[in-house]
Amino acid sequence: MIIRPHAHWFVRLFSWHGSVLSGILFRLGLNLLMSVVAIFCLDWYETLGVKLTLAPFSLLGVSIAIFLGFRNSVCYARFTEARLFWGGLLIACRTILRQVHAISPADAPRITALLMAFCYSLKHQLRKTDPRKDLQRYLGDETDDVLRRRAPTNVIEMKISRWLGEQRRSGAVSDIVFTQLDDSIHQLSQVLGGCERLASMPLPFAYGLLLHRTVYLFCTLLPFALVPDLHYMTPLVSVFISYTFLSLDTLAEELEMPFGYANNHLPMDAMCTNIEINLLEMNNQRELPETPVPDRHYRLT
């Protein structure tokens, strides 16, 4: 995720890091090349007796803008939902550890380790990366057994639930406290299930493909509709319009799956570290991880 300090509006016009321009620069170059070709071929193009007018492009442009806006709204809603899930995960971890400190302080380090293992396992599951190194820090000898399972994050949650069951059977917690703690653990299940749903269920492929093809066809033919009226101004206007449509299309693709490493994805490394800092402070530990800060390109992963 890009986290930039507030800047003057004029300075923001020239911001490079955090924009999608770097990802579409080559495609804009192709549009510029097509505009130049349209200028040099204008005389030959007019002798054919076939002329593209701006009328169909105006109608099609409005339609594309509406559907791109709708798609971006849906994708941003997915990004917001993912962000809320991870915010809820922080709340759930704090609540569970606070309740554990109230009923069994001696078990707090063990539950802290399981909660951190849950967070890091979920992060690696969503990013499809190897969780062994992080899980080894918190689970130790249990790591191999957990990683043999097809749903390791759920297995870690079950370990927390088993601990609660043992406390209930030993009479260490009352029915009311058991219910409260079980509700808090249930929040972990909701976060896990919600993130799995977002990661495994993208937007319908045909819908995105239709918009993708339409945008690129529109940007390819646009210079030939502009050149009879704009002549040498065609590259400037065509590239600017194409920048708008291609940026919206690219941004929607990034927001649709918000769990990766792109500029507009969630900073799950930082969020896991933030959860770790909170839990270790609740255990009165003095050696804490460094607070995550953006790098020199304003990126927080």
Give the rounded distance of the alpha carbon of 7 from its chain centre: 24
Q: Which of 173 and 89 is assigned the larger pLDDT? A: 89
Share of the chain above pLDDT 90, in %: 47
Structure confidence by residue, pLDDT tens digits, 20-49: 888 888 999 999 999 998 888 877 766 766
User: In this predicted structure, what is the pLDDT of residue 46?
Assistant: 65
Q: Where are the domains of the chain?
A: 21-36+50-283
Answer yes or no: are the C-beta atoms of 13 and 258 closer than 8 Å: no
| Distances in whole angstroms, Cα of residue 65 to Cα of each of 68, 226, 244, 273 | 5, 19, 9, 39
Answer yes or no: are the C-beta atoms of 97 and 187 closer than 8 Å: no
* Whether the predicted pLDDT of 173 surpasses 90: no
Structure confidence by residue, pLDDT tens digits, 55-76: 788 888 888 888 888 888 999 9
Backbone torsions φ then ψ of 299, nearest 5 degrees: -95, 135
Q: Which of 80-89, 120-129, 167-176 has the lowest average pLDDT?
A: 167-176
User: In this predicted structure, what is the pLDDT of residue 50?
Assistant: 65
What number is the average pLDDT over the span 237-243? 91
Q: Which of 297 and 135 is assigned the larger pLDDT? A: 135
Nearest to 18 by CA among 298, 252, 226: 298
pLDDT tier at 128, thresholds 50, 70, 90: very high
Q: Return the structure tokens found at 208.
A: 């995105």
Tokens 């890009």: give the residue.
2
What number is the average pLDDT over the span 90-102? 93
Nearest to 241 by CA among 216, 207, 209: 216
| Distances in whole angstroms, Cα of residue 191 to Cα of each of 116, 203, 221, 261 | 14, 20, 45, 20
Give the rounded distance of the alpha carbon of 259 from its chain centre: 4
What number is the average pLDDT over the span 150-170? 92
pTM for the structure as a whole: 0.88
pLDDT tier at 19, thresholds 50, 70, 90: confident
pLDDT tier at 13, thresholds 50, 70, 90: confident
CA gap 246, 238 in Å, rounded: 12
